[in-house]
Structure 1
């Protein structure tokens, strides 16, 4: 196994639970710096890259969009600045989560209503199919 200070991309992928293609995508999109290359052209990653990838993964696990992750990384790179901007990003994301929860709750209520209208007859009389079928204007 490669030493911790110089991981190959496959080792980094296994260590962080990230797909190799995702690591490459993060590099291409600028979230991860371009990896150093060995003389033979193989990518090698250092501890700082592993930590940055862990930050990205945790941010994505919490649902932050890529633009917000990029902004958070930029802010995290300057440890001496106030964290108000980070707080703002997190609050905007929390508000978006609350909006999605409200939308899903309304969707659940409507689907529960439609399912409750089922009389367990034939498909021709099915209220679920009736609700899902597009209405034509004649």
Structure 2
């Protein structure tokens, strides 16, 4: 029981500050690429791939190509997530915690933007129409 309390206490200490991170794994800094450099390079590459595959998928007109590239896009997103998790686990990637008041403020700000979107009522009608299986003709 004490082990759980100690573990919880150390987790509280880790998450109580403004930065959320794990203990850093030690490595030697030198001219050569180390594990952290490699993972950072891999993550940057996966981010670049997901950005570009996203554009490709959005602009692809052939259905089979769209489906194949969408599958590849999902794989690259998963690879990027796994790399992020590994770097976070090793303490090589940290995130900043936000105060709940600031989150609420941003939520309110962006919620107000919905009223500025054109054709709000028509969109709702169209989405109901599409959900019943009626789609506009597609020209491939």
User: Relative to total residues, which structure has the larger helix share, 1 or 2?
Assistant: 2
TM-score, with length taken from structure 1: 0.31
- TM-score, length-normalised on structure 2? 0.30
Larger Rg: 1
